[in-house]
Structure 1
C-alpha cells in the first residue's frame, strides 16, 4: 500500500486522512516510521505477575507468541491474557517502554502540525477545523486522565464535526474519539440531542479473580479500536427516557399516589425503594383492583410488576413489552431509574420518522415525473448511465441521477424554468445528504426543523413549476 503522505501534497494528505474520522492503525505507525517490522511488544501486568510478548508483522498485525495474529491491539491483549477487556493501545509497549497510545498520539500530533488551515473537511460544513478538533480531543483526554472529564451536550459534541444530527457522522466521531482512547458516557448515540455526556477515558476492564485463566477469550464489547457498530433507534433517544421520573416509596399511601397521578395526569407511577431499587409500579387499574378486593388494603396490594430496560436497549425490541403494559422504566448508564417510556412516546417517535419518509417520497416522485415529462429516456441515460447497465426506465432513477440531469446546462435550459440552476442544484445536493441519512436509517434523531423546511419548500417549488 502506498504511503499516503508521499508526494508534493503528502503533508496535507496525511493530515486529511488521520484527522478526519479514520481510526489510526498499527499499519499507519509502520508507514510513518514509528514502528518497524519485527519490533517486540510487551504487555506487563504487575498486579498478577504476568508478562506477555508479541511482535509487529509487516502488515501491521500483532503476532502473539503462539503465532496468532490480530489487527486489533485490544483483541490481541484479550487473547494473550485469556479473559477480560483491555484497551490494547494502552496495554502494549515497545522496548523503550513507550505505549502504543503514545506512538499514536505522536503521529496525530504530527498530522495536526501538517494540517493546512484552509483544508476542507469533506462534504460537511464545519467551523471546527480537523487540527482544532484534534487539540480539543487531546485536551479532553488530559481532563479525563485527571479525573475531571469534560461535559457537553450531544448537540455541542456534534458541532465539533459540523453536524446537527446523528447518522453517518457517528462512525467518524467514534473513530476520532477512539484515536484519543475516549468514549462518551452515556453513549452519545443512545440519548437525546439535549442530553449531557462526559468525555471519559476508555476503561480497561479485567475479569474477576474467580474467572478461569485460559478459558476461551470473549470478544471485547467495548474495545476502543474495534470498528463494528449498528445504527437505529434506542430507548434512550426518546426525550422521556432519561428525563427524570416521579416515583413513590413502597411505604406511600393511596392518597399520596392518587394525588401525584392526578396532578401530573399520569396513568402509572413507579415504586422505588431507592434510585436503583425498583419495586414495581401502580396504575389506576391496579389501584381499582386492590381497593375492590379490599377497601382497607395497603398500597403494597396495588403494586404490580414493572419492566425496566437500559437506555441503550434497541427500541424495536421493547415494543412487545410496551404492547403488553403500555410503559417501561429506563435505567441510565449508572443503572439508576432515570425515566419512563410509554407507547404514546414511541408512536410519536415513529410518527415523526414516517412523516419524513412521506416528504422525501413526494420529492422523489415529483422530480421523476418532471424529468419523465420533459426528457426522453435516451437523453437521461446518456447523462446518467451511458453504458446502459442500470437505467431501463425512469423508475430506476436515483436522486443522484436527478442531480446529473438538472445540473446539465442544456437539459436545464430545456426545462425553461426562470430559476438559477446553481442555486437549485445546491439545495438539491443538501437534500440528497438529508435524504440518505433518513432513507438508510443512519440517524436516530428527528430531522431539524430547518431540514424539514428545506424539503417542504422544495416540494412546494416542484408543485408550482412541475405542473
Structure 2
C-alpha cells in the first residue's frame, strides 16, 4: 500500500471536477493518450515533442511525474488532494490510467478514485506529514514516516497517529529547565538525543531565526550545555545530542563532548583558550537539504555494468555513484558515460564507464555548489570521514528554493492588493494622517506606507467604511496583524523552510482580499 499526492492544478482549478466526478486530473493537456507509452523514455519523447521550448530539466521532471501518474500509482493506493479551502481530501485509487479526449474542458489524463473523506482539517495532521505534502510537484509519493498507514487512518476519520518513531519523551521537554535536568540525570554514555525540530520546540520556536538561535545559544552557555553536532547545521529533522559541556574527563582522560564529537562533528559552543564561547553562525549548509542526509543507492567497485544499468532503469536514475568497501566515492556512471564506454568497447566494464564525481562536504555553503549542480545535474555529499552520505540534484534545489520563494510571492500579492484598494478608496490626506511627523509629507500614495501602517489606517471607522467591504473588521485586522508578524519573520534568515501550516494565516488573508476585490 502506497500513498500519493496529486494536486488539482497550481491554483486548484481542477479541484471541483476532481471531487464531483471521482477522478484525479493531471495537467499537460498538449499531450495525447499515454496508454501505450510503457517506459520512461517513451513518455520523455512524447513530453519533449509536445513542449519543444522546454529544457532537459523540465522535460525530465515532467516525465517523472507523468510516469508515476500512468504506471506507478496502482489501484488500492491512497491519494491525497490538497484543497483551496486548506482542507484535504483522501481517496483510494479505483482504476488504471485513462485518457478522455472528449471532455468539455479539453483532453484529460485521468485516474478514477473513490473519495473517502473530503474535508479533513489540516490541524488534525501532524506537522511532519503536512511538510511532506508541501512539495511543489503535481504528482509525488508520500513515502516517509509511515505516511501510507497514517493516510489510511485519516481516511477512516481517525486523527493522524503520528510517525511511529515519534519521540514522545521529547514532547515532555516543554522548557529549557526540563532539558537541563534531563541532561544532568543521564550518564555520559547515554546522552539525550533528539531531533533539531524537537530541540527547538523546547524554546517554543519552529525555525532557526537568528534571534531564536542567539537566545538558545545564551541559554546553553548559561547552563553549560553543548549540542553535537551543532543545532545550527543539518536539516530540521537531523539528530543531535545535548551534553554537559564542562563535565570532568572520564578515566580515559577525555570529556563526553570529545568522545561524542569523534563520531560526529564539532559541538556547538566549543570553548576557546580564552574562555569565550565560539559562536556558530546559521548558514545555508549542504546538510540543510534533506537529500544530503539520505544515503543514495549505489553500486560497489567491481560490480557488473549491467547491474548499474538495471538499477538506473528500475529507479529512473540518470546517474549512479560507485563506492568502495569503506563507502567512499570512486566514481560515477551516467547514461552518457555508459554510452561513451560502449562506443569504445561493446563489452565495457563498470570501471571503464566511470567518470569523476563531484563531492560536497555536508558543512559546505550550499550557495557555492549551486552552479555545479546546475551544470552537472547533481553533486554527491560526503561526511567528515569522506564517506558518501547523500546526493543533491537539480530537482532538490528547485523544490527547496521554490518552497522558499512562495511565501515572499504570497506576501507581495497581499501588499499589492492592499495598496490598490487603499489608493482607490481612501483620500491621500487620510492616508498621510497615520504617518507620524515629517514623514507624512513624503507620502504620495499607499506604496509609501509600511505594512504595519495599514492596520492603523483601517482601524479608523471612516477609512474602513470607505472600503465598502461586508466583512468583520476586527477579524480582518487580526489577520492583518498576523500577516505582519509573518512578514517580519520572513525578513530574518532561517535555513528551515516555511511549512504549509505556517503559511495558513497569510494564505487565508490573501484569499479574503481576492474575494473582496476580484478585479485586481
The normalised TM-score by structure 1 is 0.62
Correspondence 1:158 to 2:200: yes
Q: 1:445 corresponds to which residue?
A: 496
Q: Counterparts of 1:261 and 1:188 in 2: how far apart (Å)?
A: 35
1:433 to 482, 485, 501: 485
Shift of 1:145: 6.3
Residues 202 and 220 (structure 1), Cα distance of their counterparts in 2 relative to 1, 3 Å cut: closer
Q: Which structure is higher in RCO with an 8 Å CA cutoff and minimum separation 6?
A: 1
On the 8 A contact 1:186/1:333 being kept in 2, the answer is no
- Please report how far the alpha carbon of residue 317 of structure 1 lies from its aligned counterpart in structure 2 after TM superposition: 0.6
Q: Which runs of 4+ in 1 moved over 6 A?
A: 203-206, 219-224
- Whether the 8 Å CA contact 1:137–1:180 is kept in 2: the answer is no
Contact 2:226 2:244 in 1 (8 A): yes
CA RMSD of aligned residues (A): 3.4
Alignment-derived partner of residue 303 in structure 1: 354
Query: How far is the alpha carbon of 1:242 from its aligned partner?
Result: 0.4
- Residue 406 (structure 1) aligned to one of 441, 458, 463: 458
The within-5 A match list for 1:210-229 is 226=277
Contact 1:306 1:328 in 2 (8 A): yes
Between the aligned partners of 2:181 and 2:286, the Cα distance in structure 1 is: 31
Is 1:386 aligned to residue 437 of structure 2? yes
Cα distance change, pair 146–304 in 1 and its aligned pair in 2 (3 A): same
| Aligned with 1:290 (options 341, 350, 356) | 341
Structure 2 distance, partners of 1:297, 1:257, is 12
2:196–2:238 CA contact under 8 A, matched in 1: yes
Structure 2 SS opposite 1:279 = strand
| Contact preservation (8 Å) 1:143, 1:150 | no
**Structure 2 gaps, min length 5:** 1-169, 247-254, 258-269
1:139 is aligned, of 173, 178, 181, to 181
Instruction: Give 3-state SS (helix, strand or coil) of 1:241's partner.
Output: helix
Per the alignment, in what secondary structure is the counterpart of residue 280 of structure 1? strand
Which of 447, 451, 471 is residue 419 of structure 1 equivalent to? Answer: 471
Partner of 2:230: 187
Cα distance between partner residues in 1 of 2:274 and 2:394: 34
- Greater CA deviation, 357-366 or 134-143? 134-143
The one of 315, 323, 342 equivalent to 1:264 is 315
Deviations 1:396-451 (A, max 9, x none): 2221112222334553344343333332222222222222232x252223321123
TM-score for the superposition, normalised by structure 2: 0.56
Measure, in 2, the Cα distance between the counterparts of 1:221 and 1:306: 37
1:20-419 matches, within 5 Å, as: 133-142=175-184, 146-168=188-210, 169-202=212-245, 226=277, 230-332=281-383, 335-388=386-439, 391-393=442-444, 394-419=446-471
- Answer whether contact 1:232 1:441 (CA < 8 A) is retained: no
Residue 318 of structure 1: how far off its partner (Å): 0.5
The Cα offsets for residues 200-245 of structure 1, whole Å up to 9 and x where unpaired, read as: 4559899xxxxxxxxxxxx989999658654453222222110222
* C-alpha separation in 1, matches of 2:329 and 2:456: 58
Measured in 2, the distance between the counterparts of 1:180 and 1:436 equals 30
Q: How far did residue 389 of structure 1 move? A: 6.5
Change in 2 beyond 3 A, CA 1:132/1:354: closer
Tell me the residue number matched to 1:85: none
